[in-house]
Amino acid sequence: MSQPPGFGGPSPQWPHGGGPGGPPHQPWPHQPQQQNPGFDLHSTQLYPTGQPPGGQQFHGAGTPPPTKGPRNTKKIVLIVIAALLALILAIVGILLFRNHQERVAEEEARVAAEQRKVEESRQATDAGATAEAFFEALAQSDADKALTFAAETPEGNNDLLTRDVLMEANKRAALTGVGVDETRLTEETPGVWNTGTATVSYSLGEDPQTIDLPLRRVGAEWKVDQVAAPVNLGLNGPDRLVNGVTVPPGAYNLFPGSYSVTSTNPLIGLDRTEFVLDAPTASDTDWEPEPVLSDEGRTRSIEAGRRIIDDCMKVKELQPENCRFILWEEQGLTIDRSSITYTLKNDPFQDVEFRFNGATMTATATVPVTNEIRATATQNGRRGTLVPTQQTNTIGIAVKLGSGTPEASFT
């Protein structure tokens, strides 16, 4: 076979055979079989004849040229759509999960709120029961049981928190009609109530009472924060008889009730002798009776004063040391001391006004004393009788009454 014009040298080697001694030439896949193309010898690169530069290039023996078409674009679109769907699904999933968490949290909060409400109701019931049981113990004069409801032992003197005192209080004005109207608790932290107040109604005798009783939780039990109120029964004077029990002056804790306070000394009384303590939380408990001279004390003080004056009427001295209201002088006479006779010419205590000192339990007064002297005397060697003569002097008298037996003296 003759060579095509314009070629020299050996024939070109084609991929997949076609050369001498090689396997028969195989056409390109999906390409129609064609004759050897001519080449443009004016170019530095080989192109199929009639293919301008910039056309399809071959990249090596046996490598098909890259193709671009609708199939690749569709694939990219599908990938983008799939990614968007995945993102949307992820966002929806997150929103659904958050929504689920919120619903779970709301449900847990609702359940917790209901549980707190139930627990609060239970605690309020227990607290109210404690308040009611405390007042029922008072109504039954059971002082020991009433003290078991105390959050802590009352500070101060508790000598009058006894059954005998409380029983007498109920005899004077019975505590009745106990009822709890309302109980309010203070939630310190969620689900924790340690303090509260119960509104309690009751009567003392004919007088209705309503108080707010403070409560406190001690461990698992509710207790009364204040079971008794301090009352000042005076700081001086005689011992007091409080609802039949004798105690010295001072401040004492008392349960609610009616009280009688009298002096154990008949010579000394108190300016106030009874009171009603409305509640264990009462704040106006400055009930301080003042000791006073009793009617009997006044009578016996006068008697004691008369005695020491009468004793002075028996002396045989012109100026006796212990009877300073007797003040006589001889004035040029020599008076026979053994003949002296004194006579009381007035009633020193007719309009007496005693002053009483509760701290010393002493009654004092200033009284006028008129005395008359009779005696024999000697003047210039002649013995004679004095003309009866009177004098009036004032003397102070103090009568100590603390022992129950008046002890009078001049001051």
Kind plus residue range of the DSSP H or E element containing 378:
strand 376-379
Cβ within 8 Å of residue 124, ≥6 positions away: 183, 184, 185, 196
* Residue ranges in 229-334 assigned as alpha helix (H): 295-312
Kind plus residue range of the DSSP H or E element containing 83:
helix 70-139
Q: Are 344 and 370 spatial neighbours (Cβ–Cβ below 8 Å)? A: yes
Question: Shortest CA distance to 408 belongs to which of 263, 302, 297?
Answer: 302
Q: What is the pLDDT of residues 337-375, one digit of tens each?
A: 999 999 999 999 999 999 999 999 999 999 999 999 999
Report d(CA 229, CA 138) in Å as an integer.
14
Q: CA torsion sign, 205 to 208 to 212 to 217?
A: positive
Q: Determine the average pLDDT of the residues in 317-338.
A: 94
Give the pLDDT confidence score for residue 398 in this predicted structure: 98
Letter string b/e over residues 378-394, b meaning 16 or more CB atoms within 10 A of that residue's CB: eeeeeeeebeeeeeeee
Question: Shortest CA distance to 402 belongs to which of 263, 213, 234?
Answer: 263
Structure tokens at 215: 């409560």
Q: Does domain 127-292 have CATH number 3.10.450?
A: yes
Most confident of 106-110, 116-120, 285-289, 388-392: 388-392
Residue 39 predicted with pLDDT over 80:
no
Which amino acid would we find at residue 57?
Q
- Please report, for the chain, the start and end positions of each structural domain, with discontinuous segments joined by +: 127-292, 295-410
Cα 202 off chain centre by:
24
Report d(CA 385, CA 375) in Å as an integer.
6
Question: Shortest CA distance to 390 belongs to which of 334, 332, 337, 346?
Answer: 346
Residue 327 predicted with pLDDT over 70:
yes
Residues in the chain, total: 411
Q: Are 304 and 297 spatial neighbours (Cβ–Cβ below 8 Å)? A: no
* Phi and psi, residue 324, nearest 5°: -75, -5
The whole-chain average pLDDT of the chain stands at 86
Q: What is the pLDDT of residues 62-118, one digit of tens each?
A: 555 555 567 788 888 888 998 988 889 889 889 888 888 888 888 777 777 788 888
Q: What is the pLDDT of residues 152-181, one digit of tens each?
A: 999 999 999 999 999 999 999 999 999 999
Q: Are 261 and 233 spatial neighbours (Cβ–Cβ below 8 Å)? A: yes
Q: Are 230 and 255 spatial neighbours (Cβ–Cβ below 8 Å)? A: no
Residue 207 predicted with pLDDT over 90:
yes
Give the pLDDT confidence score for residue 305 in this predicted structure: 98
Kind plus residue range of the DSSP H or E element containing 139:
helix 70-139
Q: What is the pLDDT of residues 122-134, one digit of tens each?
A: 999 999 999 999 9
Report d(CA 278, CA 285) in Å as an integer.
10
Report d(CA 385, CA 336) in Å as an integer.
10
Q: Are 325 and 395 spatial neighbours (Cβ–Cβ below 8 Å)? A: yes
Pick from 46-60, 223-237, 245-259, 268-282: least confident: 46-60
Q: What is residue 146's three-state secondary structure? A: helix
Q: Are 179 and 201 spatial neighbours (Cβ–Cβ below 8 Å)? A: yes
Give the pLDDT confidence score for residue 283 in this predicted structure: 77
Report d(CA 175, CA 132) in Å as an integer.
12
Q: What is residue 341's three-state secondary structure? A: strand
Cα 329 off chain centre by:
77
Q: Are 289 and 233 spatial neighbours (Cβ–Cβ below 8 Å)? A: yes
